[in-house]
Amino acid sequence: MITALRHSWQKYWYAWAMVAPVVIVLAVLVLYPLGYGFYLSLTNANEANVARDIGAFHAPATYKMVGLDNYWSILSGADGDFYPRLTWTIVWTVSCVALHIAIGMGLALLLNRKMRAKLLYRALLILPWAVPAFVGVFAWRLMLNSQYGVFNEMITAVGLPAQNWLATPFAQKVAVIMVNVWIGVPFNMVALLGGLQSIPKELYEASEMDGASPWQRFVNVTLPGLRPVTHTVVLLGCIWTFNMFAVIYLLLGQNTTGEADILVTFAFRKAFTGVSDYSGAATYGIVILALLLAFSTFYRRRQLKTEQA
């Protein structure tokens, strides 16, 4: 046993030495808080009963273990928020990721052709990625202002009705999806463009010799060739969009009815507005993590199956 350990140490010590910094940082700053968060989710901790200092007086924590009560109140629908938030989170994730991939793919296909001014187009199209999210969101907030915003002027100019974008729940939902699509397309476009460039040219030449139409070439050469990239991009896109905080929180600010809140922003509000409900927020966090873990395990398994088929 010990010799086996020593053997593998001698063989792998430099590999372990190279991953050690990452492992240590992640373990301390992610695993520990996660464990602590899980612990909080089993208690009834809130702003009124955690340890705190009031002047020189130190009030010890008085919260206690409540077992799985928090989970039960969420999953049974008793808190009245979870299922509406979950439904909207799924609608939000699916629409955002679908639009990201569709638009990103379209633009990548166009950019992958020989043409003039290609570099200029590419630089302009990647621009929203280079803009820090909060600046992009501020710009949109300014444009979407119901009274003075330029966006309403633009859509009324083409005959669409003006909307109170940042106030009515439905318009809010359309607005956050729109802004998130604007922010997210460049990443998908660049990843897919790289994927397109890695498809061997010979495949296209061969299919051309066989007289395949452009559509057939797209379905039979481009899509299968892009599969490794699309798999990764869809998986990451779903995870990131599901947990997207900045767009919704910053675009809608405080003047929201909560209708457009996804699970993550809802949990954040739980923890930091009104009487901070730490245990409730932690429970939401753990549930989100469980949902994403289940989704990505399922997704990876299906991906492996299609690769074998």
Partner 1 sequence: MTSATTHSPATTGALAKTPAPRPKKVRGREERSTLASVALHGTLIVASLVAAFPVAWIVFISLGPKTAWQSPGEVLGNLSLDNYVKVLTETDFPHWFGASVIVAGGTTVLGVFLAATAGYAVSRMRFPGHRQLMWSFLVTQMFPMAVLIVPLYELLARFDLIDNYLGLILTYATTAVPFCAWMMKGYFDTIPHEIDEAGRVDGLTPFGTFWRLIVPLAKPGLAVTAFYSFLTAWGEVAYASQFMGADHYTLAVGIRTFATESRADWAMMTAASVIILVPATLVFLLVQRNLVSGLTAGGTKS
Rule CB under 8 A: which of 127-166 touch partner 1?
127-136, 138-140, 142-143, 145, 147-148, 150
Residue with tokens 């966090």: 285
Least separation in angstroms between residue 2's CB and partner 1 is 16
Please, which residue, 122 or 173, has the CB nearer to partner 1?
122
Using CB under 8 A as the criterion, what x/- string covers residues 13-42 for binding partner 1?
A: -xxx-xx-xxx-xx-xxx-xxx-xx--x--
Interactions with partner 1, residue window 238-257 (CB under 8 A): 239-240, 243, 245-246, 249-250, 254
Nearer of residues 172 and 178 to partner 1, judged by Cβ: 178
Residue with smaller CB distance to partner 1, 57 or 148: 148
CB of 15 to partner 1, least distance (A): 4
Q: Give how many residues touch partner 1 by CB under 8 A.
A: 105
Contact by Cβ (8 Å): 41, 284: no
The answer to whether the beta carbons of residues 193 and 112 sit under 8 Å apart is yes
Q: Please tell me the distance from the alpha carbon of residue 294 to that of residue 301, in angstroms, as a whole number.
A: 11
Contact mark string toward partner 1, 174..213, x via CB under 8 A: --------x--xx---xx-xxx-xx-----xx--xx-xxx
- Report in angstroms how near the CB of residue 34 gets to partner 1 at its nearest: 6
Distance CA 279, CA 48 (A): 12
Beta strand ranges found along the chain (DSSP E) = 52-54, 57-59
- Rg of the chain over all Cα atoms, to the nearest angstrom: 25
In 31-146, DSSP assigns E strands to 52-54, 57-59
Residues ≥6 apart with Cβ < 8 Å to 224:
none
